[in-house]
Amino acid sequence: MIKIKNVSKNFGKNKVLADINMTIEKSNVVALIGPSGAGKSTLIRTINALEEIDQGEIIVEDVSIHQKGTDINKARTQIGFVFQSFNLYPFLTVLENVTIAPIKVKGIEKVKAIAKGKELLTSLGLEDKFDVYPSRLSGGQQQRVAIARALAMEPHVMLFDEPTSALDPEMVQEVLDAIRKLAADGMTMVVVTHEMGFAKEICDQIVFMAEGQIVEVAPPEEFFSSPKSERAKTFLSKVLNH
């Protein structure tokens, strides 16, 4: 479970997050949507302390992430993060990319980490890529490796910041399928996405942000069929007509 309580953040004079409150229950999937500059990336990055906050509190699985004294590296092992740019280690093979953190950070035995890594990669359709270097993979394949790498730490929650935005259109589905499968398996997730059909299909809740604020929170059917705020109506009319 993720709890975000009264979180505010400024970049200089720019109020990027203004008193954000939201709760993501265990096994729920929340889509964070909204126009560019709304603060979606900043918000999702505060959940594992890639961004500091000025006010408020964020709790992930009973750990207060921004509190002094919290072992953030330990807390981060519970939180998988997948970015728009895949950020794989270029000089490691696919399997090494997936096993390095479990071995080095969690102290998992190498044979066990390799077995688990192979299992994850296989479940993501990458069973013939174990010994390949990332540069030899397509964007969709690299993003699936990035998902496997995050899952190898056995996180309790997964965060995705526009995981398909850097992909060629024909590779979007294979990555969405991987996230869909995680949702079906009961993973707790926050997904920043512009894939509205996907958000509608897999999410329990839509959180619509604009200008650093949460403007609207609703179940997908409701949000897409009858958005309440003018801001959401305008946004949807732009993204759904293209």
Interacting stretch for ligand ADP, rule CB under 6 A, among 34-42, 91-99, 183-191, 228-236? 34-42
Nearer to ligand ADP, 52 or 131 (CB): 52
- Is the C-alpha dihedral spanning 206, 207, 209, 215 positive or negative? positive
Q: Residue 15 CB, nearest distance to ligand ADP (Å)? A: 9
Distance between CA atoms of residues 239 and 89, nearest Å:
34
Interacting stretch for ligand ADP, rule CB under 6 A, among 29-37, 60-68, 101-109, 226-234? 29-37
Q: Residue 105 CB, nearest distance to ligand ADP (Å)? A: 26
Interacting stretch for Mg ion, rule CB under 5 A, among 35-43, 60-68, 145-153, 211-219? 35-43
Do 46 and 17 meet the contact criterion of CB atoms below 8 Å apart? yes
In terms of Cβ atoms closer than 10 Å to its own Cβ (0-12, 13-18, 19+), residue 210 is: buried
Distance between CA atoms of residues 101 and 166, nearest Å:
24
DSSP 63-109: EETTSTT--HHHHHTTEEEE-SS----TTS-HHHHHHHHHHHTT---
Q: Residue 195 CB, nearest distance to ligand ADP (Å)? A: 15
DSSP letter assigned to residue 162: S
Candidates 81, 242, 73; CA nearest to 158 is 81
Interacting stretch for ligand ADP, rule CB under 6 A, among 33-41, 65-73, 89-97, 216-224? 33-41
Q: Which of 36, 73, 135, 241 binds ligand ADP (CB under 6 A)?
A: 36
Distance between CA atoms of residues 72 and 75, nearest Å:
5
Nearer to ligand ADP, 36 or 135 (CB): 36
Interacting stretch for Mg ion, rule CB under 5 A, among 39-47, 125-133, 193-201, 204-212? 39-47
Q: Which of 28, 41, 48, 205 binds Mg ion (CB under 5 A)?
A: 41
Q: Is 238 in the site for ligand ADP (CB under 6 A)?
A: no
Query: x/- string (CB under 6 A) for ligand ADP, residues 39-78?
Result: xxxx------------------------------------
Candidates 47, 43, 59; CA nearest to 11 is 43
Q: Residue 114 CB, nearest distance to Mg ion (Å)? A: 34
Q: Which does 14 bind (CB under 5 to 8 A by kind): ligand ADP, Mg ion, none?
A: ligand ADP
Q: Which of 6, 14, 27, 225 binds ligand ADP (CB under 6 A)?
A: 14
Do 120 and 111 meet the contact criterion of CB atoms below 8 Å apart? no
Distance between CA atoms of residues 151 and 185, nearest Å:
12
Applying CB under 6 A, the residues found at the interface with ligand ADP are 11, 14, 16, 34, 36-42
